Structure 1
Amino acid sequence: MESTTEKNNFKRSLGLLDATMIVAGSMIGSGIFIVSADIVRNVGSACALLLIWLFTGFLTIAAALSYGELSSMFPKAGGQYVYLKEAFNSLTGFLYGWSFFAVIQTGSIAAVGVAFSKFAAYVFPSLSEKNIIIDFSFLQISAAQLTSIILVVFLTYVNTRGVKEGKMIQTIFTLVKLIALFGLIIFGFSLAAKADIWKANWSTGFSINKLDGNTLVPYSGFAVMGALAASLVGSLFSSDSWNNVTFIAGEIKNPSKNIGRSLFLGTLIVTIIYIATNMMYLSVLSINEIAYAENDRVGVVASQHIFGNSGTYIIAILLMISTFGCNNGLILSGARVYHTMAKDGLFFKQLGHLNKNGVPEKALWIQCIWASALCLSGKYNELLEYVIFVVLIFYILTIAGIFRLRKTKPDLERPYKAIGYPFLPFIYIIAAVTICIMLLIYKYNSSIPGLAIVLLGIPIYYYFVSKDKS
């Protein structure tokens, strides 16, 4: 049951549209404008590029449909942390919450903040990462890093003012972002699409090869599995954070129904946009132009083809809007996890309090401080390589929790049941386990450290347990 404090202070002021905008807005950052370049270099064909995005979309929607059942059973703040704790035990829930704080959410906030500043530098060159503002002997701080920190601090402050303020930013910026993305897709097809480019891009059929310059190099043996694993890291990260809406269940109207609906609608909308955007790329740019776009910024190159010289500024402004809204969603929702952990005695107790506006202000600020430190460290890109492996582990466990809860708590009320159960959840688990194995084999440099971050949470868990008992 929810505590009395939570019932009295969390304000249920988010409707279905707001919840859907949190799902979509948290998913769409800068990834869709960048990661297709790396995918094409790994797979070498238009068909394989679209299959990677289709497979990613299928996995994301399948997981979202499964989470709907869990959100209807436990419609309270904390989301995935609560699901894992209820399905397994408090240690499993804590390991997720710890990983969420250490790398998943804060690393994502840092990376999206830095992406905002990089694209802002197109419009305001003085904000470039090459413009060093402070130079210590051991640390250089660029204008881009300062800009990203200012963004994180500003959005954190706005969200301490109350959920309505965060909701307003999220809904407005996500709607603008979606309209602009649909506009970019439509303009791309209508103004810059070329039949000869489209035909040439599809000439390689369903083959999967490494693109080396203008040459397609066949993979030998199981190397193709490594290429697929590397490709999926980018697309999965670009489609992640859809579960953020579950963390703010305490502030959603009719959460037992609206969370499940928003998960499905949000992930479906984003999947359609991602597929359409990549089809637009393939109609406007050659395979080589996609693969070797400067700094992997495929969206910038496509926009230049569509709008000419002004295209750089158009896409930069779109990306600023996109990353601004994305970071607001991450910041708004993430702090609710630390708040719930603190209420359970598994994190710093001060984070368990709500301010006069009914939001976990101290949890918001500790998240802000660590995300800002990651911005300064320059290690956020490395951390993000660890994210997907860690995220998939907890997605697997959470969806496996549906099967476990059906057996251990069959009488618990389920206003919404997972669509396609048991087949869709089972398919997701098998697919995600396969990807994890591929990542362990072919991306062990990031997978092993990611696993180490999770395991580091075990002694920290027992520290908080002993502190709570004393």
Structure 2
Amino acid sequence: MNNESPEFKKSLGLLDATMLVAGSMIGSGIFIVSSDIARHTGSAGWLMVVWLIAGFMTLTAALSYGELSAMFPRAGGQYIYLKEAYSPLVSFTFGWTFFAVIHTATIAAVGVAFSKFTAYLFPILDEDVILWSLGTYEISYAQVLAIAVIFLLTFINTLGVQNGKTVQTIITILKLLSLILLVSFGFWAFDSEVWQSNWASENTWKLQNLSKDGSYSDYTMIGALGALSAAMVGALFSSDSWHTSSAVAGEIKNPKRNIGLSLALGTMIVTVVYLLTNLMYTGVLPLTEMAAAPKDRVAMVAAQEIFGPVGITILAVMIMVSTFGCNNGLILAGARIYYSMAQDGLFFKKIGKLNKNAVPAYALWLQGIVAAAWCLTGRYGDLLDMITCVVVIFYMLCIIGVFILRKKRPDIERPYRAFGYPILPAIYIVMGLSFIVLLVIYKPQFTWPGIGITLAGIPLYYLIKKKNQVL
């Protein structure tokens, strides 16, 4: 008897999986968020500390996920790990939040970022150029282009994982090379006076507020903690989506080995590139110029210093390539989580089916439609700030799950064990909890909306469970 739909094809090798991780991490954040971090920290030293903390947390989480991915090498990634360590309710609340906001709003934000930087080459595509308006509601050319790119990449990925992986691997290699070249030219254009002003002044290691007008002000102890946690939001967002290869476990060759390795290699590559990029910024731009960059596009200002007027065009093309590849990775990986939810009877039945090309086409198109809807709202940026706290909560839960599963299921095969266990995972948990507590206390606008969206998944879970009479 033939199956109703084909099985996933093992098409992704270690290079493909690593490029999926790195490519999904590098979007537009590294070119923008350092401006906001500079304002919150007011010093080159603390700017780098924020990026070091984000890199350490990301790499530690990836190394811990390596154990989980080797234990459960199935499509779905975090959704599977949370279900195995806790319960279907916990995994569903993650899947619900991932679908409703975390992933789809990220795809929308990256898509619009692609459009914004395309506008440097074609001004009609600027976000301020309105295509259609109805009262106070407006749709720009940038939003339409973002939707077109999302649908194009969705279509490419419905043709088979081979197409998606080819696009991902080629574009990620291109953008890594272009970032390395940008950093190299940046150090070649190194300005000793700028470096001295950033690194040899009395403010180098002083945590303070830096306004766009170039003025400094001291924090109280409470204000300093709040500023540091707010600065971390941008760095962690720029380092997010490092777990994408775990979501496509069903399509990775030798998954028990290659998923963990791809997570480690991808996050290490990106962490090093991010640190070098920010170090380069401090050798090219005074911190006050970083903080005052128009629309926070600090990389644009740096590129002009390095390359002159042509720098804007060079960087615009770089970011277009970067965001295009980032969205391809996000689109490819995200649909596999909804597929796993549907397999458990917790999503629309068709979402759990593969098409003739052995990919979850219904899941891909539903994801694309929701992401397009977020593009039209124009509120994706606010939502991404709101859910950063929730994202870290789920990462923490997965890492705590490593400890739980060591006790709960000690006999299960573990081809790879979390590096530095139990010390490094414990450090991540402490750091993650500290970040969450600081945001809840000092920056509630970054926390409660996302927590509310997540908690809404609880009654939804029981409604679905009752309807389907499952679990």
TM-score, structure 1 as length reference = 0.98
Per the TM alignment, residue 443 of structure 1 is displaced from its structure 2 partner at its CA by 1.5
Aligned counterpart, 1:161: 159
Could you list the structure 1 runs, at least 4 aligned residues long, displaced by more than 3 angstroms after superposition: 4-8
Aligned counterpart, 1:327: 327
Provide, for residues 121-158 of structure 1, a one-character-per-residue CA deviation record: whole Å limited to 9, x for no partner.
Answer: 00111111122112223521110000000000000000
| Conservation of the 8 A alpha-carbon contact between 2:132 and 2:140 | yes
Provide, for residues 343-368 of structure 1, a one-character-per-residue CA deviation record: whole Å limited to 9, x for no partner.
Answer: 00011111000000000000001100
| Conservation of the 8 A alpha-carbon contact between 2:351 and 2:360 | yes
Aligned counterpart, 1:345: 345
2:143 to 142, 145, 151: 145
Amino acid aligned to 2:207: I
| Conservation of the 8 A alpha-carbon contact between 2:5 and 2:354 | no
5+ long unaligned stretches in structure 2: none
Whole-Å Cα distance in 2 between the matches of residues 232 and 71 of structure 1?
27
Aligned counterpart, 1:33: 31
Aligned counterpart, 1:205: 204
Whole-Å Cα distance in 2 between the matches of residues 5 and 49 of structure 1?
54
TM-score, structure 2 as length reference = 0.97
Aligned counterpart, 1:446: 446
Whole-Å Cα distance in 2 between the matches of residues 181 and 5 of structure 1?
45
Per the TM alignment, residue 206 of structure 1 is displaced from its structure 2 partner at its CA by 1.3
1:409 pairs with 2:406 = no
Per the TM alignment, residue 6 of structure 1 is displaced from its structure 2 partner at its CA by 11
5+ long unaligned stretches in structure 1: none
| Mean CA deviation greater in 205-214 or 38-47 | 205-214
Whole-Å Cα distance in 1 between the matches of residues 268 and 421 of structure 2?
19
Whole-Å Cα distance in 2 between the matches of residues 323 and 214 of structure 1?
31
CA RMSD of the aligned region, Å?
A: 1.2
Partner SS for 2:30: helix
Aligned counterpart, 1:182: 180
Per the TM alignment, residue 5 of structure 1 is displaced from its structure 2 partner at its CA by 6.2
Whole-Å Cα distance in 1 between the matches of residues 453 and 226 of structure 2?
23
Amino acid aligned to 1:196: E
Q: How does 1:79-90 map to 2 (within 5 A)?
A: 79-90=77-88
Whole-Å Cα distance in 2 between the matches of residues 225 and 162 of structure 1?
47
Partner SS for 1:38: helix
| Mean CA deviation greater in 415-424 or 216-225 | 216-225
| Conservation of the 8 A alpha-carbon contact between 2:18 and 2:263 | yes
Aligned counterpart, 1:380: 380
Per the TM alignment, residue 238 of structure 1 is displaced from its structure 2 partner at its CA by 0.2
Whole-Å Cα distance in 2 between the matches of residues 7 and 398 of structure 1?
31
Whole-Å Cα distance in 2 between the matches of residues 20 and 375 of structure 1?
28
Partner SS for 2:145: helix
Amino acid aligned to 1:67: Y
Residues 200, 138 of structure 1: alpha-carbon distance in 2 compared, 3 angstrom cutoff: closer
Aligned counterpart, 1:10: 8
Per the TM alignment, residue 254 of structure 1 is displaced from its structure 2 partner at its CA by 0.3
Whole-Å Cα distance in 1 between the matches of residues 388 and 63 of structure 2?
20
Whole-Å Cα distance in 2 between the matches of residues 422 and 468 of structure 1?
40
Partner SS for 1:217: strand
Per the TM alignment, residue 460 of structure 1 is displaced from its structure 2 partner at its CA by 1.1
2:114 to 91, 108, 116: 116
Residues 216, 139 of structure 1: alpha-carbon distance in 2 compared, 3 angstrom cutoff: closer
Per the TM alignment, residue 205 of structure 1 is displaced from its structure 2 partner at its CA by 2.6
Whole-Å Cα distance in 1 between the matches of residues 308 and 214 of structure 2?
25
Amino acid aligned to 1:206: W
Aligned counterpart, 2:102: 104
Amino acid aligned to 2:61: A
Aligned counterpart, 1:195: 192
| Conservation of the 8 A alpha-carbon contact between 2:353 and 2:360 | yes
Partner SS for 1:104: helix
Aligned counterpart, 1:389: 389
Whole-Å Cα distance in 1 between the matches of residues 3 and 418 of structure 2?
30
- Counting aligned pairs with the same residue, the percent is 55
Per the TM alignment, residue 7 of structure 1 is displaced from its structure 2 partner at its CA by 10
Amino acid aligned to 1:219: Y
Aligned counterpart, 1:125: 123
Whole-Å Cα distance in 2 between the matches of residues 468 and 167 of structure 1?
35
Residues 389, 50 of structure 1: alpha-carbon distance in 2 compared, 3 angstrom cutoff: same
Q: How does 1:48-63 map to 2 (within 5 A)?
A: 48-63=46-61
